[in-house]
Amino acid sequence: MNTEPEDAVPSRFQEAVRTMLAALDPEPGREGLRDTPLRVEDAFRHYTDGYRRDPHKVIGDALFEAETDEMVVVKDIEVYSLCEHHLAPFFGKAHVAYIPNGRIVGLSKLARVVDVFARRLQVQERLTMQVARAIDEVLKPRGVAVVVEAAHLCMMMRGVEKQNSRTVTSCLLGLFRSDTRTRSEFLELIHSKGT
């Protein structure tokens, strides 16, 4: 019978990290690596906590009746995610806009929806689309636009090693896709320098 506390027994995740360390480092048992499996598991549980959150519930009851039909833009939302191909981080900013259709949403909820999808193993293209579609499904606005600009460590630290490269992805729904003036206004707003 095991008498150790449950959290003292290494998980499968920690055992896998220990195996990886043994394959990478000639001294995997040294002091600096002794608690690394536990720290890596804790970190990856945080990095991927978006799997345990529902974007619809994140918005919750923060929907409010409003007569406005003007564009709402939240720009420069910090994004931190992990590339699903190499488990290397990518980071940057997201710009999210919508055109209300009788309802508005609490502004912080837009950033929270970005986090729900960023905190998963991702590709930037899918992340951008998932954020736009979730906002569209819950808010049912006249249009949604999402642009994500990010630097990928899998491109910067390995492979082509291009440190100054940035990837830009977009997903445009509703009026942002069908109306060139609406799309142009959005792009102008996200590229303007605030005072």
- Pick the catalytic residue: 84, 125, 137, 163? 84
Q: Return the pLDDT at 194.
A: 67
Locate all alpha helices (DSSP H) within 105-147, ordered by sequence: 107-118, 124-139
- Pick the catalytic residue: 15, 27, 78, 85? 85
Kindly give the pairing relationship between strand 72-83 and strand 143-152.
unpaired
Of 65, 170, 44, 182, which is closest to residue 119 (Cα–Cα)? 44
Q: Return the pLDDT at 61.
A: 82
Residue 84 annotated among the catalytic residues of the structure? yes
Residue 191 annotated among the catalytic residues of the structure? no
Residue 171 annotated among the catalytic residues of the structure? no
- Pick the catalytic residue: 14, 122, 152, 171? 152
Whole-prediction pTM: 0.90
Rounded CA gap, 89 and 121, in Å? 10
Name all domains of the chain by residue range, CATH numbers in brackets.
6-47 (no CATH), 57-191 (3.30.1130.10)
Residue 122 annotated among the catalytic residues of the structure? no
Spatial contact of 143 and 173, defined as CB atoms under 8 Å apart: yes
- Pick the catalytic residue: 14, 41, 122, 124? 124
Look at residue 25 and give its three-state secondary structure: coil
Q: How does pLDDT run along the chain (195 residues), one tens digit per residue?
A: 445 455 567 799 999 999 999 999 999 999 999 999 999 999 999 999 999 999 999 988 889 999 898 999 999 999 999 999 999 999 999 999 999 999 999 999 999 999 999 999 999 999 999 999 999 999 999 999 999 999 999 999 988 888 889 999 999 999 999 999 999 999 999 998 864
**Please, what is the angle between helix 124-139 and helix 107-118, to 10°?**
140
Residue 152 annotated among the catalytic residues of the structure? yes
- Pick the catalytic residue: 14, 83, 122, 171? 83
Side chain identity at 166, as an amino acid letter? R
